[in-house]
Amino acid sequence: MDSTTKNKIGEFICGDDKTKYPVYRSSFFLTRFFQEIGINATHDGSSRNKWSQNVISNLNGTDLQKVILRLVSPKLYGGDREQIRLAILTMNEILAVESLKVMIENIEPKLIKQDPNYNFSEKTEEKEERELKPLPPPNFDKLNLEFGLAEILQKRWIEVESCIKVNATVSAVIMMGSMLEGFLLGIMQKKPQLVNQAKSAPRKDEKVKNFSEWSLNDMIDVAHEVGWIQLDVKKFSHALKDFRNIIHPYQQLVLKTNPDIDTCNISWLVVQATFNDIADWLNKNDK
């Protein structure tokens, strides 16, 4: 295994970067981590990262595999889904250059061979896109949102459709943007640890901002990073956020924009796709 890969595994064990690693380990817990998997290594008080990387650099074969599998084991994180997900995502990013991947089979982690794809051509990106089609509203009541929010979103969904029917395009796109922001905020409040650990989460003084300080732009970027929405939805959602700003007449004057019915219909498809993408994710992961 390449030394760079081993160094990254050493950093994973230390866990200094909370956006990438699920657990921070002090000197005591570094020693404990290795000894629990049968590796005799005791931290000597030196730099944690350098020490951990040095230990990993001397491991190969079965011992190195034990380290990798322990770092993604659901048992290590007490079954915490958000920590497990972050661990697997980070580890697979590290192992990709070695044509390796970790996966969970029942509750046990496995190490398998998988060739990475580092083709960054436009065609690769296009594969992530799809044709946007009209979709029904998700069942808001089953998403376990904050009390009362599901009813508000359901009513606004109906109001947007009413605005579109009577060609009230400005009102429609403004309401779509506010719906999108409200829905994303509601889901973020259900999954604070997951979204706060995202690389694109907005920060101030090296700390993640409170949700009340997040912009719609921040929410969209994080929603895509954590896997809630697909690439096509992310792109169109950023366009929709600009239309939302025309709630202020002067802003509409500055932007020199007046959304027509075609723009309105496309924006509505984006909102429908966003809501349904996130609802599908919750149905699969919120157990």
- Work out the average pLDDT over 131-139: 73
Examine the domain organization and report whether 147 and 103 are in the same domain: no
- Work out the average pLDDT over 12-35: 91
pLDDT for position 160: 92
pLDDT digits (tens, 9 = 90+) for 100-130: 999 888 788 998 888 777 665 544 444 445 5
Q: Please state, in angstroms and rounded to a whole number, the distance separating the CA atoms of residues 179 and 160.
A: 10
Q: pTM for this one?
A: 0.53
Q: Please state, in angstroms and rounded to a whole number, the distance separating the CA atoms of residues 145 and 154.
A: 12
Tokens of 54: 């040095």
Tell whether 118 is covered by a domain.
no
**Residues 185, 187, 190, 192, CA torsion sign:** negative
227 sits in the region (left: phi over 0; alpha: psi -120 to 50; else beta) called left
Q: What is the mean pLDDT of the chain?
A: 86
Examine the domain organization and report whether 99 and 180 are in the same domain: no
Q: Which residue has the tokens 């359901």?
A: 154
- Contact, 25 vs 43, CB < 8 A? no
What is the residue range of 107's domain?
A: 3-113
- Contact, 79 vs 33, CB < 8 A? no
Q: Please state, in angstroms and rounded to a whole number, the distance separating the CA atoms of residues 64 and 31.
A: 16
Examine the domain organization and report whether 169 and 268 are in the same domain: yes
Supply the DSSP symbol for 286. -
- Contact, 99 vs 114, CB < 8 A? yes
Q: Please state, in angstroms and rounded to a whole number, the distance separating the CA atoms of residues 228 and 241.
A: 17
- Work out the average pLDDT over 79-94: 87
Catalogue the E-assigned strands of 24-151. 100-105, 108-113
Examine the domain organization and report whether 106 and 175 are in the same domain: no
Examine the domain organization and report whether 224 and 281 are in the same domain: yes
Tell whether 120 is covered by a domain.
no
Alpha-carbon 210 to chain mean position: 17
Name the strand (E) or helix (H) holding 203.
strand 203-204
What is the total residue count of the chain? 287
Tell whether 160 is covered by a domain.
yes
Instruction: Assign residue 271 the CATH number of its domain.
Output: 1.20.120
The alpha carbon torsion through 93, 94, 99, 103 (nearest 10 deg) reads -60
Least confident of 54-68, 127-141, 169-183, 271-285: 127-141
pLDDT digits (tens, 9 = 90+) for 32-84: 999 999 999 999 999 999 999 999 999 989 999 999 999 999 999 888 878 88
pLDDT digits (tens, 9 = 90+) for 209-259: 999 899 888 998 899 889 888 877 787 777 777 677 787 788 778 877 788
Residue 84, Cβ density class (10 Å: 0-12 exposed, 13-18 middle, ≥19 buried): buried
Q: Residue 255: phi, psi to the nearest 5?
A: -75, -15
Tell whether 189 is covered by a domain.
yes
pLDDT for position 123: 45
In the chain, the number of structural domains is 2
Tokens of 15: 């866990």
pLDDT for position 120: 58
Q: Which residue has the tokens 């403004």?
A: 174
- Work out the average pLDDT over 121-140: 60
Examine the domain organization and report whether 151 and 69 are in the same domain: no
Examine the domain organization and report whether 54 and 194 are in the same domain: no
Q: Which residue has the tokens 């829905």?
A: 183
Examine the domain organization and report whether 20 and 49 are in the same domain: yes
Q: Which residue has the tokens 């029942």?
A: 106
Tokens of 102: 């970790």
Examine the domain organization and report whether 261 and 135 are in the same domain: yes
